[in-house]
Amino acid sequence: MNRLSNRLTIETHNGKQIVFVDYKGLKEKEMIELVNKHLELTLQMKLPFLADFHKTYVTPSYIIQARRFAESTKQIIDKGAPTGASFRLCPSRHEITTKKELMASGF
């Protein structure tokens, strides 16, 4: 996690704390590690988040972990905002093809 520790930070905005998750430029394996670390932090601190997905791809394997995050935290946090997501289209039963489907999936 040391190489990812600077990508999961607690920031103060308008006097309120939020978690900033910087996925920018990460590959799938690192994204999954980071979402799991974000889950650990959220279960401890219960803070809203902003996640930056610029210059990266949201893959089916990542979506599985993101859904796990959403299910585990839906009673804990009430605000979260992903920005800059791109989608890799590949044949899979877990394929997400549009941003609307991602949002409808609970993430």
State residue 21 phi and psi, 5-degree precision.
-115, 115
Query: pLDDT per residue over 29-50, tens digit each?
Result: 999 999 999 999 999 999 999 9
HEC string of 31-92 equals HHHHHHHHHHHHHHHCCCEEEECCCCCECHHHHHHHHHHHHHHCCCCCCEEEECCCECCCCC
DSSP element (H, E) containing 17: strand 16-22
Query: What ranges do the domains of the chain cover?
Result: 2-104
pLDDT of residue 86: 57
| Helix, coil or strand: residue 2 | helix
pTM (2 d.p.): 0.74
DSSP element (H, E) containing 18: strand 16-22
Beta pairing partners, 87: 58
Query: pLDDT per residue over 48-67, tens digit each?
Result: 999 998 888 888 899 899 99
| Average pLDDT over the chain, rounded to an integer | 80
Quick one: DSSP state of residue 107? -
**CATH class of residue range 2-104:** alpha beta
